[in-house]
């Protein structure tokens, strides 16, 4: 069963009076429980795609079929986007319906994520890594069927980012939502995903759909990921610029 | 707007400042020894007499009721208009001229017009005072609505928050600092304008009484009324406004 089916024929928006096409013929599906990464050059419409999937943007041609129930979608943005006037616990409770009146899932999850001592702290008192952990908790607390992540760990130092990736994988392993993880970092995508979808430069469409069956755990700096990355870039030298044309060496072989 | 923490030494300095003002007043009054500048003791005696015979508490009560009614009316109408203007460029374009007009029309003109069209009634007085404050509230809340963080509203959209929770936990907290600013400047404006409305067209209240004493050149009683009024304003600031502010915007500290 698919947790997400995307068939966007065309998505355009107006900028300075001109019409810009952001996405064309973007078609893919994510099966339940799969961790799919999306990689593409900047400006390829990754964030637009997530807005459409999240239901924030409905002005497009085509169809998106996601989780039917509203509570079954979680999202983590590029920045933590916590409410500064709510405590850590209240920020996570925000995602629960009906609003809880006593200790429960939110606190349980936060304690699991080593945030138990900060339940009543405000976001401004937290480090960047802690804020992102809270944002992750807010997305996971309602046990989503589909989780959208929009470059959630960028602008963090490498050890913190890696720690959060491991945390994400641990939560995913336990609750198994389908995940759509958008990034521009090929190493990150290869180390996390069951599958990597490469998008073209804008207007974005899928140029390569790469299944991965490397064993986990595999860090972004691990030998297996590095070898795969090399091989991939040898075969498709322009992949990160959104082109999956086969290299001369490859086609000669 | 930040809540200032007074240090021990600062508190003493404030008391010392208040006492020096009193001492200066007493000294000048003593030197002048004229009926047109009574000293603090004479004013205190007059104040005690006015409180004892019930006249001052009655006038003060009537005035405070008018202040409360005008304030509530002005905040409600001004916030509604201001928020609509901040959210929609069309509403803003339409009402902008009205706002400029409203901000600059002399308070006395509005008061006269209201009394002429509405008769010398309580309702006319309250509306006149409220009308003086509406443009000011609208201007402040327009700024607030413009500054609302769309990214946080998107979080509410992704979480599919019901309207009321979205308003209470995501939208309004962003406006609290502006509402507090409007409250502060509103009260100080309304205190003053209520007195004008009273002396022009009411037969009780602090403004009416001040005008009466003015006609007799009764400076002692004028100062006694002023002192009681200042006491009320200071009390409202420290027991109403500051605790409210601490509650609503305490997360900033």
What are the tens digits of pLDDT across the range B48-83?
999 999 999 999 999 999 999 999 999 999 999 999
Q: Which of A51, A83, A87 to mutate to test the interface with B (most CBs of B within 10 A)?
A: A83
Cis omega (within 30 of 0) on the bond before A98?
Answer: yes
**Chain pair A-B, CB pairs under 8 angstroms:** 44
Report the C-alpha gap between A128 and A25 in whole angstroms.
37
Residues A161 and A237 in one domain: yes
- Interface check B173 vs A, CB under 8 A: yes
Residue A77 forms part of a structural domain: no
Q: Residue B172: is its pLDDT beyond 90?
A: yes
Our count of domains for chain A comes to: 2
Residues A15 and A61 in one domain: yes
CATH assignment of the domain containing B236: 1.10.3720.10
Residues A167 and A230 in one domain: yes
Q: Residue B2: is its pLDDT beyond 60?
A: no
Chain A 176-235, CB below 8 Å of chain B: which residues?
A: none
Q: Which of B152, B158, B251 sits opposite A56 (nearest CB)?
A: B158
pLDDT digits (tens, 9 = 90+) for B21-56: 999 999 998 888 877 889 889 999 999 999 999 999
Instruction: For the sheet with A61-65, list strands across it.
Output: A18-31, A2-15, A61-65
The mean of the pLDDT values for chain B is: 90
- Interface check B15 vs A, CB under 8 A: no
- Interface check B155 vs A, CB under 8 A: yes
Place of tokens 């009320």: B232
Residue A74 forms part of a structural domain: no
Name the residue range of residue A87's domain.
82-144
Our count of domains for chain B comes to: 1
Q: Residue B250: is its pLDDT beyond 80?
A: no
Name the residue range of residue B106's domain.
40-252
Residues A239 and A175 in one domain: yes
pLDDT digits (tens, 9 = 90+) for A145-165: 899 999 998 888 888 889 899
Q: Which of A104, A123, A144 is the last residue of a domain?
A: A144
Residue A72 forms part of a structural domain: no
Identify the weakest region by mean pLDDT among A70-74, A144-148, B187-191: A70-74
Residue A101 forms part of a structural domain: yes
Residue B23 forms part of a structural domain: no
Contacts of B173 in chain A (CB under 8 A): 83, 85
Residue A166 forms part of a structural domain: yes
Residues A120 and A207 in one domain: no
Residues A172 and A123 in one domain: no
Residues A164 and A248 in one domain: yes
Q: Which of A71, A83, A90 sits opposite B152 (nearest CB)?
A: A83
Task: Give the model's confidence band at B156: pLDDT under 50 very low, under 70 low, under 90 confident, else very high.
Answer: very high
pLDDT digits (tens, 9 = 90+) for A203-223: 888 888 989 888 887 888 888
Residue B13 forms part of a structural domain: no
Residue B173 forms part of a structural domain: yes
Residue A39 forms part of a structural domain: yes
Place of tokens 């004892």: B52
* Secondary structure E strands in chain A: 2-15, 18-31, 35-39, 61-65, 73-76, 146-150, 178-183, 195-199, 206-211
Q: Specify whether the CB–CB gap between A124 and A133 falls below 8 A.
A: no
DSSP string computed for A177-218: -EEEEEES-HHHHHHH-SEEEEEPSSSB-EEEEEE--PPSP-
Q: Does the distance separating the beta carbons of A55 and B158 come in below 8 Å?
A: yes
Residue A182 forms part of a structural domain: yes
Q: Which of A77, A84, A99 sits opposite B251 (nearest CB)?
A: A84
| Closest CA–CA distance from residue A123 to any residue of chain B (Å) | 9
Report the C-alpha gap between B109 and B171 in whole angstroms.
37
Report the C-alpha gap between B205 and A193 in whole angstroms.
75
Report the C-alpha gap between B67 and B129 in whole angstroms.
8
- Interface check B154 vs A, CB under 8 A: yes
């Amino acid at each position: 069963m698919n947790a997400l089916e995307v068939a966007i024929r065309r998505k355009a928006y107006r900028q300075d009076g001109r019409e810009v096409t952001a996405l064309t013929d973007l078609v893919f599906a994510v099966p339940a429980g799969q961790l799919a990464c999306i990689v593409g050059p900047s400006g390829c419409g990754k964030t637009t795609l997530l807005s459409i999937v999240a239901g924030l943007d409905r002005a497009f041609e085509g169809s998106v079929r996601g989780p039917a129930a509203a509570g079954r979608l979680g999202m983590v943005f590029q920045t933590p986007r916590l409410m500064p006037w709510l405590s850590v616990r209240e920020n996570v409770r925000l995602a629960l319906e009906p609003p809880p009146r006593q200790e429960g899932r939110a606190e349980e999850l936060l304690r699991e994520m080593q945030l138990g001592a900060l339940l009543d702290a405000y976001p401004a008192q937290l480090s960047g890594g802690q804020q992102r952990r809270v944002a992750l908790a807010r997305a996971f607390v309602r046990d989503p069927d589909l989780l959208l992540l929009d470059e959630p760990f960028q602008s963090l130092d490498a050890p913190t980012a890696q720690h959060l990736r491991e945390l994400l994988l641990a939560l995913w392993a336990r609750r198994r939502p389908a995940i759509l993880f958008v990034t521009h970092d090929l190493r990150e995508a290869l180390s996390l995903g069951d599958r990597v979808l490469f998008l073209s430069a804008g207007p974005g469409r899928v140029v390569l759909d790469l299944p991965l069956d490397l064993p986990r755990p595999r860090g972004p700096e691990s030998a297996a990921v590095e070898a795969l990355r090399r091989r991939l870039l040898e075969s498709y030298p322009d992949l990160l610029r959104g082109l999956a044309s086969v290299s001369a060496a490859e086609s000669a072989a | 707007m930040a809540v200032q923490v007074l240090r021990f030494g600062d508190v003493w300095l404030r008391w010392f400042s208040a006492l020096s003002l009193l001492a200066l007043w007493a000294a000048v009054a003593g030197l002048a020894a004229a009926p047109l500048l009574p000293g603090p003791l004479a004013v205190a005696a007059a104040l005690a007499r006015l409180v004892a015979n019930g006249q001052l508490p009655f006038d003060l009560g009537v005035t405070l009721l008018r202040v409360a009614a005008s304030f509530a009316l002005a905040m409600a109408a001004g916030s509604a208009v201001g928020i609509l203007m901040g959210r929609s460029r069309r509403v803003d374009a339409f009402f902008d001229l009205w706002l400029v007009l409203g901000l600059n029309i002399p308070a006395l003109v509005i008061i006269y017009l209201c009394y002429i069209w509405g008769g010398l009634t309580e309702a006319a007085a309250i509306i006149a005072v409220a009308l003086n404050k509406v443009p000011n509230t609208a201007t402040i809340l327009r700024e607030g609505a413009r500054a609302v963080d769309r990214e946080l509203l998107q979080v509410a959209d992704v979480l599919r928050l019901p309207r009321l929770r979205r308003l209470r936990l995501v939208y309004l907290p962003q406006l609290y600092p502006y509402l507090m600013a409007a409250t502060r400047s509103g009260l100080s404006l309304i205190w003053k304008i209520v007195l004008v409305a009273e002396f022009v067209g009411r037969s009780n209240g602090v403004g009416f009484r001040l005008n009466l004493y003015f006609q007799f050149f009764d400076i002692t009683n004028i100062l006694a009324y002023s002192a009681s009024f200042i006491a009320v304003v200071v009390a409202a600031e420290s027991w109403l406004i500051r605790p409210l502010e601490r509650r609503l915007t305490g997360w900033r500290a």
